[in-house]
């Protein structure tokens, strides 16, 4: 084998895997929902069907109000307790029953699964909507989105206006028919707690 042949052979051995990896990287990235950052979700108020823009920028059509909702953080647990029938919620955060931190302690029956943002557990519940916070780990969120589940993500908790915007978003996503508007008015005007306390 000549020196030139050896260089070609070495180049092919080194280059072929690099070319294959570059070609497949687009597919792998798509499967993992990409390396880009996540944003907060958006859903228009009003009737169904409606479009839900997920945290990766994907748009999904919600044909009707979700019937199997999973919440992975306490803020969504509390808002959902006020907006939807508990039968529509199949999973809530582990913090929901702590009376020291939760405004909805003992509201959800024991049959509603208590969980963390564990993708395997969430997927096993077959939800038609998953509520996550901005602090949900990127890997967990990618797996949940990659499983094809509609996801509502909220990351802003710094001001009262942020909480009101979160209530509007969740109300739109779950098909709230006015409770969210009344609750927001009560909160703004200083009437009532806005959320039930058990």
What's the CATH class of domain 42-189? alpha beta
pLDDT score of 34: 45
Q: Does 157 have pLDDT greater than 50? A: yes
pLDDT tens, residue by residue, 100-148: 999 999 899 999 999 988 999 999 999 999 999 999 999 999 999 999 9
pLDDT at 128: 96
Where are the domains positioned within the chain?
1-31, 42-189
Is the separation of the CB atoms in 194 and 187 below 8 Å? yes
pTM: 0.74
Least confident of 3-17, 75-89, 118-132, 150-164: 3-17
């Amino acid at each position: 084998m000549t020196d030139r042949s050896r260089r070609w052979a070495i180049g092919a051995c080194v280059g072929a895997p690099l070319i294959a990896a570059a070609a497949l990287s687009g597919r792998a990235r798509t499967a993992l929902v990409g390396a880009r950052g996540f944003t907060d979700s958006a859903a228009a108020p009003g009737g169904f069907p409606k479009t839900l823009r997920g945290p990766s920028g994907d748009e999904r059509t919600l044909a009707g109000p979700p019937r199997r909702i999973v919440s992975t953080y306490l803020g969504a647990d509390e808002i959902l307790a006020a907006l939807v029938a508990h039968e529509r919620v199949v999973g809530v955060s582990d913090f929901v029953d702590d009376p020291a931190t939760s405004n909805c302690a003992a509201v959800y029956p024991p049959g509603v699964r208590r969980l963390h943002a564990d993708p395997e557990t969430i997927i096993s519940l077959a939800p038609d909507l998953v509520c996550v916070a901005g602090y949900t780990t990127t890997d967990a969120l990618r797996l949940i989105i990659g499983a094809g589940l509609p996801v509502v993500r909220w990351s802003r908790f710094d001001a009262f206006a942020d909480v009101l915007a979160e209530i509007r978003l969740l109300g739109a996503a779950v098909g709230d028919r006015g409770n969210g508007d009344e609750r927001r008015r009560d909160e703004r005007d200083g009437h009532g707690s806005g959320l039930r306390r058990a």
